[in-house]
A = this chain, B = another copy of it.
């Protein structure tokens, strides 16, 4: 058994935070606004568990611009010396106009297909549990992109088009974690322990 302090090699794992297409509170498909605390928190969790890259996925030019400005400040600008731990985490972040663009970027880098993992709060037929997905990731030489939905979650189309649907985090009659908390827990379950 692995030591609990040992991190597995996560060199083939990427995360994507999807701002479109996602559901709003009424089940309508929308593009959500970028929330800076999502980017900081998920970048820190990604860095903690040695994720290879973090795609902020938004088709809205204004939102992409906001993320790039945040990155300039914290990665190259005055923020980088003020808070080096933010710089290190945010260095993982890239902006992509769509999930397809993120997949294309990873695919070119690896010269390989990309396996897409959808996450969410709902149960789906054929979903995969954490232990099994971890085994598959460890045994694969392909890159994986784990998608998290903002708003009220990834659309069914995105979920059904993914290679794996990860089982929801089981709550005690309550399943409304923030995407920041869900990403932290899922990365810990998949990558944090041997």
Chain A interface (Cβ within 8 Å of chain B)? 4-7, 10, 25, 37, 40-41, 44-45, 47-50, 83, 85, 88-89, 129-130, 167, 169-172, 174-178, 180-185, 188-189, 192
**Residues of B contacting A174 in the complex (Cβ-Cβ under 8 angstroms):** 44, 47-48, 50, 85, 88-89
**Residues of B contacting A4 in the complex (Cβ-Cβ under 8 angstroms):** 129-130, 167, 170
The answer to whether B169 touches A48 (Cβ under 8 A) is yes
| Given A6-B170, A50-B174, 10 extra CB contacts under 8 A | A37-B37, A44-B174, A44-B177, A44-B181, A47-B172, A48-B176, A89-B174, A89-B176, A177-B184, A184-B184
When all copies of this chain in the complex are counted, the total is 2
**Residues of B contacting A172 in the complex (Cβ-Cβ under 8 angstroms):** 7, 10, 47-50
Give the contacting residue for A181; candidates B45, B50, B85, B88; CB below 8 A: B45
Minimal beta-carbon separation of A50 from chain B (angstroms): 4
Minimal beta-carbon separation of A27 from chain B (angstroms): 15
The answer to whether B176 touches A188 (Cβ under 8 A) is no
**Residues of B contacting A185 in the complex (Cβ-Cβ under 8 angstroms):** 184-185, 188, 192
**Residues of B contacting A88 in the complex (Cβ-Cβ under 8 angstroms):** 174, 176
A6 and B172 CA atoms in complex are apart in Å by 8
